[in-house]
Amino acid sequence: MQRFVTFVLMLLGIAFACLIAVFAYQSIRAHTTPELRAPFHAVLMMNGQAYFGRLERLGTTFPLLRDVYYVRSQVNPETKEVTNSLVKRGQEWHAPDFMLLNASQILLIEPVKPGSRMSKLIEESAKEGSGAPKQ
- Provide the CATH number for the domain around residue 108: 2.30.30.100
Same domain for 64 and 10, yes or no, is no
Judge if pTM exceeds 0.85: no
Q: Which helix (H) or strand (E) holds 111?
A: strand 106-112
Give the Å distances, CA to CA, from 116 to 47, 111, 122: 25, 10, 10
8 Å CB contact between 66 and 56? yes
Question: How do residues 38-71 score in pLDDT, each as one tens digit?
Answer: 999 999 999 999 999 999 999 899 999 999 999 9
Residue 31 has a pLDDT of: 67
Q: Is residue 135 in a domain?
A: no
Same domain for 65 and 17, yes or no, is no
8 Å CB contact between 74 and 82? yes
Same domain for 107 and 74, yes or no, is yes
Domain span holding position 4: 1-32
% of residues, the chain, pLDDT over 90: 56
Same domain for 16 and 63, yes or no, is no
Same domain for 93 and 114, yes or no, is yes
Same domain for 20 and 75, yes or no, is no
Across the chain, mean pLDDT equals: 88
Residue 29 has a pLDDT of: 67
Q: Which helix (H) or strand (E) holds 119?
A: helix 117-128
Work out how many domains the chain is built from and give that number.
Answer: 2
